[in-house]
Amino acid sequence: MTDSFTGMYAALMTGLDQSGAFDPERQRVLTKYVAGQGLRGLYVGGSSGESGLLESAALLEQQSVVADVARGTGNVLMAHVGLPSLGDSIRLAKNAKTLGYDALSALPPHSYPFTDEEIFAYYKALAAATDLPLIVYEIPIRTGRPLPLELLVRILDLPNVAGIKFTSTDLFKMSMLRRQRPDRLYFFGFDEIFSTAGALGVDGGIGTTYNLFGRLYVAIWEAIQANDLLRARELQNISQEFVEILLQTGVLPGMKAAFGLIGIDCGPTRAPMALRADDPAALLSGFLERADVKEWIAL
């Protein structure tokens, strides 16, 4: 595959108003910040964007707002279109094509215990819906089960399927997949251990905390490309400390609270997601105010 897609992508979050409805202006402010960090691109409408809780109409509007803000910035735009309904997924895919997105991605069909053949048929239909390259998805923590290696190989062989976002700690499985289909793209989805997958030769990362710390993850990527393991480890430690805090606050609620602390209002997360921990603001501000952390915030 072409190198034009390699690198680091923020799994873009969603701006909501106080009632939980999509807020175009908050989305614009957030997108402008994220797009200005030197990342390779934006991954729009995924789990980090609360897509599982949003209506397809809101996701269609988000695609449009992000495309408008990102125009001329050089960011590659990947539209995540994986909804439980194939019809909704195809509608999102065709809208992304019309708006000039560069690629698509999709969770496997979820919400029910679909068979391997049903999952294969879903990806076959989605890949055929447009001529955009499709990044498929392995994420057992979201779907409830890992997809068999043989099924992933079959899916990667479909026309228009360009690669996979691999969000699993089974890095041996990822390596076996890469050996069997070396011409595909491999993106890793766990922010806190990206450098481990980077050392195994993935083509980039797609992550939630990249929204706030995109510059940090670009530096981790550059350190790995330069074979500077010590530098990658040092920077990865900062990422891990942040993720440890987010596990206490709730990942997306904590991310939105962190953005608020640096002056960017993303709004709340959609219910039932809510901020946790006894004093989340203290946990987050204590971290964000450290000198070794502040240098990575792009204000």
pLDDT, residue 299, reads 78
In a domain, 257, yes or no: no
Go through the chain and tell me how many residues it has.
299
Query: What is the span of the domain harbouring residue 46?
Result: 3-227
Look at the chain and report how many structural domains it folds into. 1
In a domain, 254, yes or no: no
- Residue 144 and residue 111: Cα distance in Å, rounded? 9
| Phi, psi (deg, nearest 5) at residue 80 | -80, 125
In a domain, 7, yes or no: yes
176: which residues sit within 8 A by CB, 6+ positions away?
149
- pLDDT tens-place string over residues 215-256: 999 999 999 999 999 999 999 999 999 999 999 999 999 999
Please give the pLDDT value at position 134. 98
Question: Which amino acid is residue 65, in one-letter code?
Answer: V
φ, ψ (nearest 5 deg) of residue 146:
-75, 145
User: What residues are paired with 185 via a beta bridge?
Assistant: 163
Rounded to whole angstroms, how far apart are CA atoms 275 and 287? 17
Percent of the chain residues past pLDDT 90, beyond the cut: 95
Mean of pLDDT over the chain: 97
In a domain, 134, yes or no: yes
Taking alpha carbons only, the member of 230, 236, 231 closest to residue 197 is 236
Residue in the structure block whose two tokens are 């997924």: 89
- What residues act catalytically? 137, 165
> CA distances (Å), 291 to each of 85, 219, 288, 297, in order?
46, 17, 8, 10
pLDDT for position 111: 83
CA distance 91 to 105: 13
The CATH number of the domain holding residue 150 is 3.20.20.70
Query: pTM to 2 decimals?
Result: 0.97
- How would you label 32-53 residue by residue, b for 16+ Cβ within 10 Å and e otherwise? ebbbebbbbbbbbbbbbbbbeb
Sort 94 into a burial class: Cβ within 10 Å, 0-12 / 13-18 / 19+. Answer: middle
Q: How confident is the model at residue 1, as a pLDDT?
A: 46
Q: Residue 58 CA to chain centroid, in angstroms?
A: 18
The answer to whether residue 240 sits within a structural domain is no
Is residue 201 scored above 90 in pLDDT? yes
249 part of a folded domain: no
Q: Is residue 263 part of a domain?
A: no
- Average pLDDT rounded to a whole number, residues 46-51: 97
190 vs 172: CA distance, rounded Å: 15
Confidence check: pLDDT of 188 > 80: yes
Residue 2's pLDDT band (boundaries 50, 70, 90)?
Answer: low
Residues near 78 by beta carbon (within 8 Å), at least 6 away in sequence: 9, 41, 42, 43, 44, 101, 102, 103, 104, 105, 135, 206
pLDDT given for residue 110 in this prediction: 85
Does residue 151 fall inside a structural domain? yes
